[in-house]
Amino acid sequence: MSRRWALGFVRLFVVAISTGLAACQQSEQDRARDAAARAQLEARDRASAVVRSLETPRDSGRLLYDRPVDLSYANLRLTRPDLARLDSTRRR
């Protein structure tokens, strides 16, 4: 009798586990709906101004840097002669 009871208990346990696992599975429609919602959120995030400002330009294959500012006296004389003292022997 106890062997019969144990076999019945095992069958009941297997049926309960199988039913539980079947209930936890997502349907294909649910997966498709979740994937579409996730894609929509990612597209919205990609379109934000912050993300676009951080993207690397796609037209060149390298990082782009601004030219360094030339702080030399020679450049000052070329670009702003009014600030450069051309004749240092004479005081203004």
Dist CA 27 CA 29 (whole Å):
5
81: CB partners within 8 A, 6+ apart: none
Q: What is the pLDDT of residues 3-33, one digit of tens each?
A: 777 778 888 888 888 887 777 777 888 889 9
User: Taking the alpha carbons of 16, 17, 22, 23 in that order, is the dihedral positive or negative?
Assistant: positive
**pTM recorded for the entire structure:** 0.35
84, 76 in Cβ contact below 8 A?
Answer: yes
Rounded-to-integer distance, Cα 46 and Cα 39, Å: 10
State residue 86's pLDDT score: 67
| Domain ranges (residues) in the chain | 1-25
Kindly report, residue by residue over 33-58, the tens digit of the pLDDT: 999 999 999 888 888 888 787 777 66
Identify the top-confidence range among 17-26, 59-68, 78-87. Answer: 78-87
Helix (H, G, I), strand (E, B) or coil at 66: coil
